[in-house]
Amino acid sequence: AAAVAKVRRLTVVLPLLEEGVAGRRCIEFYRGMLMAIDQMRDEMQGEMVITTLNEPASGASMSHLKEEVEKSAPDVVIGPLYPGHFETVRGWVAARSKTEWLIPFSSKYPSVASQPRTILLNAPDEYKGQMAADLFVQHFRQARIVFLHEQGGDEVLFTSGLRNRLVAAGMEVADLPVGYTRDDMQKAVAAKGLTLFVPDASTNAVATKLLDQMAHVSAPNAHSRVALAGYSRWNDADSGVRSLLTRPATDVYLCMPYFHDAGSPQGARFTSDYYGWFRQSAAEGGQYAAMGHDAMLAYFGQTQRHQVGTLPVFSRIAEGGGRVNSTFVLLQFTPQGTIQQIALTNR
């Protein structure tokens, strides 16, 4: 008898009809998904059935979607965007014995540690800190890492995980308390080697302040240098910070769980393909479309030859727990205007 082709059923729950930045990014992500699924169609030797449901505004009920989800009989639910809807989707997934759940944007789902069918494309902050530490140990082994503490820092979980791992690895670590000054930063610079400043906040205000201050924090001699670490949101088109990274005073290393280089050969080909599909250019350099594309490649375990950015790797975080994207890169912006991607060399 002829083999029966496998049918895979995806149910997407995202605010695709919402106006503004959130809706636009979700549409881009969804379009990238469609492009990847089309590319994989021959290799996967089966049918892909996609049900698309519009997620309502944050705080609104999703009970009216329950019947549609049940009829779609999903193998995987992709979404939602808003954490306030997580519990509803968790209930939908729990009611089915094999359905998986891929959360594409938020990292704020602590129950991933105890739910084996849950997958986070954006890993929780404490895990990102551990991943970043592996990169820091590999590329900044002899550096002094100075943590800058900000009032109400929004990256405390990330920097705590990073700091603990660096200390365990025997790296030199120092801290400047809330209210530190430019003089305090200058005094913290090592006489030899790299001093890398890491803030525990990612806001535009902190980024702007530090990028200005780094122009006045100098290396004391030819054997030392200073640099700043930052966050992926600084590279967003609407952050107001990206223009300051064009030619920073010192090297700036952005911690990135995903990066798509629109100027690379793969990026240029993806940009052209995107226009061919949708007759418009991808927003924000195609970052969110590329993320949706590569997330599908990673989820279905396809080869890397189609990837357009850093291919996610979904790793189980504990026995009986879910999976998170363990891919992490540093994006280096130099005073010369160049940009370089730094990844672990032993993956």
258 SS3 class: coil
CB 298 within 8 A of CB 313: yes
pLDDT at 3 over 80: no
Whether residue 127 has pLDDT greater than 80 = yes
Separation of alpha carbons 160 and 147, rounded Å: 10
Which percentage of the chain shows pLDDT scores above 70? 97
Whole-number Å distance between alpha carbons of 271 and 308: 10
* CA-based torsion, 49, 53, 100, 236: positive or negative: positive
pTM here? 0.86
Predicted pLDDT of residue 344: 80
44-103, pLDDT tens digit by residue? 777 889 999 999 999 999 999 999 999 999 999 999 999 999 999 999 999 999 999 999
pLDDT for 4? 46
Length of the chain: 347
| HSE (side-chain half, CA atoms, 13 Å) at 202 | 20
- Summarised one tens digit per residue, pLDDT across range 192-212 is 999 999 999 999 999 999 999
Q: What percent of the chain has pLDDT over 90?
A: 71
**144: helix, coil or strand?**
strand
pLDDT at 5: 53
**Which residues are registered as beta bridge partners of 253?**
229, 332
User: Once rounded to an integer, what is the mean pLDDT over residues 220-235?
Assistant: 93
Q: How far apart are CA 41 and CA 325, in angstroms?
A: 24
Cβ atoms of 172 and 121 within 8 Å: the answer is no
Is residue 143 within 8 A of residue 196, CB to CB? The reply is yes
Q: E strands, the chain, where?
A: 6-14, 46-54, 76-78, 100-103, 118-120, 144-148, 172-176, 193-199, 224-231, 251-256, 314-316, 323-325, 329-333, 339-342
Model pLDDT for residues 283-308, shown as the tens digit of each residue: 888 989 999 999 999 999 876 668 88
Q: Is the pLDDT of residue 153 over 70?
A: yes
Per the model's pLDDT, the better-predicted residue between 6 and 114 turns out to be 114
- How many Å apart are CA 2 and CA 151, to the nearest integer? 65
pLDDT of residue 301: 84
Residue 134 above 60 pLDDT? Answer: yes
Look at 257 and 32; give whichever has higher pLDDT.
32
Q: What is the pLDDT of residues 155-192, one digit of tens each?
A: 999 999 999 999 999 999 999 999 999 999 999 999 99
Write down the residue that tokens 């106006």 correspond to. Answer: 19
pLDDT given at position 49: 93
Output the pLDDT for position 346.
62
How much is the mean pLDDT over the chain?
Answer: 91
